[in-house]
């Protein structure tokens, strides 16, 4: 395993992140449906041992990232890669060829990256990133809205991470508090520079990474499981209904959806649990709903697929998606897709979905109406099942591992 010397002080590393404009070879990226040259799993996969570094609450607070991480791990192992998963702030003992981090903007990712740098272990980063300026300015409600209006962004970010640190288990608490004052912008620029390869889910996300100074970039598709054999839903549902599945939080924007569909002739089923810092948002959502809206806690994926198949349409009104696991799964199940026009959704769904403006209730309602007027033609389902598979994601990820483990190499244009 090759080792790289790491600076002794985080401050020096963060300062160096401002020098991103130094000459680097151009990146190789492409839209998800254009990247056909990812190598198939080959014998080199069998010699690779990868360390997945994940957030500590991945199991207790599941989300689309948890599915992406788990399915990527399974697909890589089918390619012969040995994967060890760690949710600790420091890497476990053992010999690894490469580490794999997730989430560009989270403080815990930066903590894990700094530990890997001290060990000299090269890492790639699945960025799962989109700028939050619009969400922060327009999407928050209640106390979160007040906090954003009163506190400077740096103070707001530090306060949020302080709450996470206090709630964290012992090994994470000290590690998070130690890095609490590192500004999020400098953290992200450091990671964009230090990662051997950045792995966005789309060309649109890759463009955002370039703005942060990222140059070594490979697009890796997000994917959906093939639907299980059809079965009737285990919960009682109307003959016709709309579905919105996902963690209940301000970014997912379920409150605007409920408000937009007030009095709509087709009832709405909202499936998901509130995030730990979004209980007040959940209460506001429940209070805003009329009798045509029903709420169901998070369900196992097999049961969720039965709801996808039965729904008239799946609606994702989020402030951004990259591109949204629930929308991909709904498409794979053959239902109509209504999704936000923010993020990278158009790269995945093209003209086979209906798009909404998350800040405009009339736009949300109109997009749902357009979707219901569409026939179910199966074209989007076929495209998702053909192009956005975990096998393809694993092949693209393995290609990035090969780049990362070639000592002294940089991502270059072909």
Domains contained in the chain, number: 2
* Domain CATH number, residue 31: 3.40.50.2000
**Looking at the structure, do residues 69 and 170 belong to the same domain, yes or no?**
yes
pLDDT (tens digit per residue) in 314-347: 999 999 999 999 999 999 999 999 999 999 999 9
pLDDT digits 0-9 by tens, 110-167:
999 999 999 999 999 999 999 999 998 898 887 676 666 666 766 667 777 777 777 7
- What predicted TM-score, i.e. pTM, was given to this entire model? 0.85
Query: What Rg do the C-alpha atoms of the chain give, in angstroms?
Result: 21
Percent over 70 (pLDDT), the chain: 84
Our CA angle for 307, 340, 33, nearest 5°, is 85
Residues paired with 179 in a beta bridge: none
Tell whether 334 is covered by a domain. Answer: yes
Question: In 10 A of CB 227, how many CB atoms?
Answer: 19
Q: In 10 A of CB 83, how many CB atoms?
A: 17
pLDDT digits (tens, 9 = 90+) for 279-313: 999 999 999 999 999 999 999 888 999 999 999 99
Band of residue 181 on the pLDDT scale cut at 50, 70, 90: confident
Percent of the chain with pLDDT over 90: 68
Q: Are 325 and 349 in contact (CB under 8 A)?
A: no
Residues 182 and 193 reside in one and the same domain: yes
Average pLDDT, the chain: 86
Would you say residue 71 lies in a domain? yes
User: How does DSSP classify residue 227?
Assistant: P
**Is 179 found in the same domain as 106?**
yes
Does residue 234 belong to any structural domain of this protein? no
257 Cβ partners below 8 Å, 6+ apart?
244, 268, 270, 315, 317, 364
Nearest to 170 by CA among 14, 56, 315: 56
Domain of 326? Answer: 242-387
């Amino acid at each position: 395993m090759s080792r790289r010397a790491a600076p002794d002080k985080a401050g020096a590393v963060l300062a160096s992140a401002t020098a991103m404009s130094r000459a680097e070879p151009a990146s190789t990226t492409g839209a998800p449906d254009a990247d056909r040259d990812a190598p198939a799993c080959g014998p080199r996969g069998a010699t690779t041992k990868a360390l997945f570094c994940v957030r500590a609450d991945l199991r207790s607070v599941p989300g689309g990232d948890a599915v992406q991480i788990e399915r990527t791990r399974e697909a890589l192992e089918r390619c012969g890669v040995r994967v060890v998963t760690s949710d600790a702030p420091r890497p476990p003992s053992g010999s690894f060829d490469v580490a794999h981090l997730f989430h560009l903007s989270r403080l815990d990712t930066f903590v894990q990256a700094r530990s890997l740098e001290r060990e000299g272990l090269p890492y790639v980063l699945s960025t799962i990133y989109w700028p939050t300026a619009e969400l922060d300015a327009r999407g928050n409600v209640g106390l979160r809205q007040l906090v954003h209006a009163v506190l400077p962004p740096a103070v707001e970010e530090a306060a949020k991470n302080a709450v996470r640190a206090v709630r964290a288990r012992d090994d994470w608490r000290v590690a998070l508090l130690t890095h609490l004052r590192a500004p999020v912008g400098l953290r992200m620029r450091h990671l964009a520079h230090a990662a051997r390869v950045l792995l966005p889910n789309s060309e649109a996300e890759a463009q955002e990474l370039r703005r942060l100074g990222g140059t070594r970039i490979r697009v890796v598709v997000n994917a959906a499981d093939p639907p299980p054999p059809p079965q009737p839903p285990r919960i009682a549902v109307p003959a016709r209904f709309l579905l919105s599945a996902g963690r209940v939080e301000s970014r997912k924007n379920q409150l605007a959806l409920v408000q937009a569909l007030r009095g709509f002739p087709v009832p709405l089923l909202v499936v998901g649990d509130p995030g730990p810092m979004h209980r007040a948002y959940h209460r506001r959502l429940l209070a805003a709903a009329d009798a045509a809206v029903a709420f169901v806690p998070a369900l196992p994926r097999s049961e969720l697929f039965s709801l996808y198949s039965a729904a008239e349409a799946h609606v994702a009104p989020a402030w951004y998606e990259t591109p949204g696991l629930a929308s991909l799964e709904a498409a794979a199940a053959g239902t109509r897709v209504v999704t936000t026009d923010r993020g990278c959704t158009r790269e995945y769904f093209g003209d086979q979905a209906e798009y909404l403006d998350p800040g405009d209730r009339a736009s949300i309602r109109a997009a749902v109406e357009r979707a219901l007027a569409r026939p179910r033609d199966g074209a989007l389902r076929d495209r998702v099942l053909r192009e956005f598979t975990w096998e393809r994601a694993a092949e693209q990820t393995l290609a990035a591992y090969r780049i990362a483990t070639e000592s002294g190499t940089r991502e270059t244009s072909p």
